[in-house]
Structure 1
Amino acid sequence: MSPGAGRARQNEIYTQGIHGRTPRVPTDHAELERQARRAMSKRAWAYIAGGAGEGTTMSANRAALDRWAIVPRVLRDVSSRSLEIELFGRTLPAPVLFSPVGAGALAAHEADVHIGHAAAELGVPYIFSNQGSAPMERVAAEMDRVASGAPRWFQLYWSTDDDLVDSLLARAEKMGADAVAVTLDTTMLGWRPQDLNLGSLPFARGEGIDQYTSDPRFTEIVAERVRSAAAERPEITLGAIKTLFSIARNAPGKMLDNLRAPEPRAAVQTFLDIYSRPSLNWDDVAGLRDRTSLPIVLKGVLHPDDARQAVDVGVDGIIVSNHGGRQVDGAIGSIDALDAIAPAVDGRIKVLVDSGIHTGADVFKALALGADAACIGRPHMYGLALAGADGARDVVANIIAELDLTLGLSGHTSVGDVNRDAVQRVS
């Protein structure tokens, strides 16, 4: 994004308006969400938009942002502005990343490829989902096709099989990841009524397990299970047949061959058995430095003491996150957590934030409260559902444009200068 990104984006949209053309994706979150819901299937909407329990953590994320008001300053020369930041040796054009979202194929076929394309066009990182709908190598190749060396990270779900963890890390290094973001808050799935009411778990249908079915170690585990499995007589129902077709369609190879072979079904069950490890602890994280050369970021930190311990074990960053309100109902809002965590970290490691970040003004508030960058989740998925890669790109471009305008209109010329003096607690 070039200097003056906000005005340039506005001018682009208004120029199209002269010709009677309006944006393909709405520029406000409320309308974006409404249109995306109409475009998505019930299963897709439940998984992507749904939250844990009664949804109070999702509400807390927005309430936490609303508790802070921006305090603009005037009569400052803001004609030249910079959104650039540095993360792990890489200069980025804006303090914004695309968050990982699992099972994105619910919204669009090969969702991760389209999201990677969108991120590469903007020059900001995409954190590849470990539960993605395309192998990381395929996504990296598409990003490099758009912009060679485009920034990308990898999200790691720590499996019960350590050799699989090592294999995923090795692949992430090889495909050019700038960092690995270890998700800590999903060692088991939270209680998600929207999915439960539909009896819908995407992974059980082979959706969102492409990082696994493309992995040599995972393939070994599946082959071992197939060889040792006793003869089974599964219950045959119409729903089971539909699920079988979904598994066959999402597995590598030809669909007809997959319907006949035991491996695709075994892959799904293997994934469900080993994808996460509830016993994950600080000793595991401390040992991760010996297993990868990548900068290590811990995703899902909400308590200042955990942030301090992250510093103590020597990781490079944290993402303050409650998983978009999808894991624990009644949890603290991410911005409230950030308010306490940033002073505890005191600049010793990088601090990012996600969950409930919808607008450029939201990003500004996060920066003012101590974040180095913000991650965008559901909004880019809504754009994807409406207009593919272009939609995902435009949603995040709009957020960056609004951040640029908010920066200038608040009297600042660099995101690095935004601090707590730029906001005021109002409730």
Structure 2
Amino acid sequence: MAPAPAPLLTPADAEAAAARLLPADVWDFVRSGAGTERTLTANTTMLDRVSLLPRVLVDVSAVSTAGRLLGSDVPAPMAVAPMAYQRAVHPDGELAAAAGALAAGVPFTVSTFSSVAVEDIAVTGADLWFQLYWLRDRGAVAELVARAEQAGARALMLTVDTPRLGRRLADMRRSFTLPPDVAAAHFSLNAEGVQAGVSALAAQTAALVDPALSWADLDWLRERTSLPLICKGILHPDDAVRAARAGAAAVVVSNHGGRQLDGAAASVTALPAVVTAVRAAVGDKVDVLLDGGVRTGAHLLSALALGADGVLVGRPALWGLALGGATGTARVLGLLRAELEDAMALAGCPDLAAAARLTTIH
């Protein structure tokens, strides 16, 4: 008799199961980072190094993880990060991932390079944010913004740390190309052939993304959409303040999951200075979110204690998607919420306000 499958008790359990299930080249596409992966590793390592000082003799008979992101109520302070080409991970791709996010009650961010169109994802009823790469064709930028608005997206997330893709060596060594039935749903792209030592995705992105993105373009975008604007990919506090003063509703402290500059600071390392600078400049008018390395509810609690309003969940959502489509995605997001609730209770935090007051040793 075959042994019973191991129970799925943590997001790490989902990671291990997804690694066994996915083809090796797709797994590397999901897992890997840029260069020697110093920054990829540091994102989680530095979160592991945040220590909390729990409070005691606090009534935690009822613990609420409920919060607000971009002015809307959420059952836990997290949203699914933008991630491209999710049909490489599961046949239903972003449709299933968005449905899982809806079941978990958290926003889902649609990537510019989604393998399902934003209009189709909107049919799931999920709370959608739309992530935007700055394209060389300004008309294509305007068209994507209009499509996101018409599909009912609630926010626009501009990625600001990608003038070009980082050297993702795992993809280069495998000469990675997408499976033949997976493509960018928002564009008509010519399929890139296999070239030794070249990632086809990097070649496609280089042809589309404009490395000249500047603050003036942010002003141009702000004038052309009524959607709340989120700037993702900020590590320096001065950049965060400038984005806030330029009208951003939120900034995401992020190094792109360790997939851009290898050697960039871990997101959580940069977080406290960004929070301090933004709060001094604009108070609580702008949300500060953490992206990168969140793997447990304790990590999420640490981010809150360091001043974040919430986090983006990236790879763990894909692990759940690989295992069970919408159900798997919802299950992993639910595990993070359950772990957060446990951590809050044990730290003496009946609500997120108490979590924000925790003392950290970092």
The separation in 1 between residues aligned to 2:285 and 2:61, in whole angstroms, is 32
Conservation of the 8 A alpha-carbon contact between 1:154 and 1:180: yes
Partner of 1:152: 128
Give the drift of 1:206: 7.4
Identify the residue that residue 173 of structure 2 maps to in structure 1: 197
Task: Go from structure 1 to structure 2 and tell me whether the alpha carbon gap of 1:77 and 1:67 turns closer, same or farther (over 3 Å shift).
Answer: same
CA contact (8 A) 2:165 2:205 kept: no
Q: Per the alignment, do residues 389 and 330 of structure 1 end up closer, same or farther by CA in structure 2, a change over 3 Å counting?
A: same
What amino acid does structure 2 have at the position aligned with 1:320? V
- How far did 1:273 drift? 5.8
Structure 2 gap ranges (5+): none
Match of 2:236 among 269, 286, 303: 303
Give distance in 2, aligned partners of 1:58 and 1:139: 29
Equivalence for 1:395: 332
Counterpart CA distance in 1 for 2:146 and 2:313 is: 26
Query: 2:264: which partner in 1?
Result: 331
Aligned residue-pair number: 352
How far apart, CA to CA, are the structure 1 residues paired with 2:212 and 2:311? 29
DSSP 3-state at the match of 1:209: coil
Q: 2: CA distance between counterparts of 1:298 and 1:275?
A: 20
The counterpart of 1:185, out of the listed 153, 157, 161, is 161
Matched, 1:92 2:29: no
Describe how 1:3-42 pairs up with structure 2 within 5 A. 26-42=8-24
Cα offset, 1:274, TM superposition: 4.5
Greater radius of gyration (CA): 1
DSSP 3-state at the match of 2:238: helix
Alignment partner of 1:169 out of 127, 140, 145:
145
Q: Is the 8 A contact 1:43 1:106 kept in 2?
A: no
In the TM superposition, residue 325 of structure 1 has moved relative to its aligned partner by 0.4
Per-residue deviation, 1:423: 2.2
Secondary structure at the aligned position of 1:53 is classed as coil
SS in 2 for 1:211: coil
Three-state SS of the structure 2 residue aligned to 1:62 is helix
Listed one character per residue, the Cα deviations across residues 193-252 of structure 1 (whole Å, up to 9, x for unaligned) are 10000111439x673411224xxxx9xxx9xxxxxxxxxxxx9x9x69xxxxxx9xxxxx
Per the TM alignment, residue 88 of structure 1 is displaced from its structure 2 partner at its CA by 2.7
Structure 1 counterpart of 2:292: 355
Kindly report which structure 2 residues correspond to 1:44-63, keeping only aligned pairs within 5 A, or say none: 44-63=26-45
Would you say the 8 A contact 1:161–1:274 is kept in 2? no
Asked if residue 275 in structure 1 is aligned to residue 208 in structure 2, the reply is: yes
* 2:108 is the alignment partner of 1:129: no
* Match in the other structure for 1:367: 304
Query: Against the structure 1 CA distance between its residues 282 and 391, is the aligned structure 2 distance closer, same or farther, given a 3 Å change threshold?
Result: same
- Secondary structure of the residue aligned to 2:186 is helix
Does 2:272 match 1:319? Answer: no
Counterparts of 1:388 and 1:421, CA distance in 2: 36
**What residue number does 1:211 align with?**
186
- Asked if structure 1 preserves the Cα contact closer than 8 Å seen for 2:34 and 2:169, the reply is yes
Give 1:350's aligned amino acid. Answer: D
Q: Percent identity?
A: 37
**TM-score scaled by length of structure 2:** 0.91
Question: How much does 1:87 deviate?
Answer: 2.4
**Hey, what's the Cα distance between the residues in 1 that align with 2:308 and 2:348?**
19
Q: CA separation in 2, counterparts of 1:190 and 1:270?
A: 12
Aligned mate of 1:404, from 341, 346, 353: 341
Partner residue of 2:318 out of 342, 357, 381 = 381
- Does the 8 Å CA contact 2:25/2:176 hold for their aligned counterparts? yes
Contact 1:110 1:133 in 2 (8 A): no
Q: Does structure 1 retain, via aligned residues, the 8 Å contact 2:54–2:358?
A: no
User: What SS does the aligned partner of 1:361 have?
Assistant: helix
Conserved? CA contact 1:85–1:416, under 8 Å: no
In structure 1, stretches of 5+ residues that fail to align are 1-19, 145-149, 223-234, 241-246, 248-267
Distance in 1, matches of 2:243 and 2:118, equals 27
Q: Measured at CA, do residues 59 and 270 of structure 1 come closer, stay the same or move farther in structure 2, by a change above 3 Å?
A: closer
Contact 2:107–2:127 at 8 Å: present in 1 too? yes
Q: For 1:160, give the aligned amino acid.
A: R
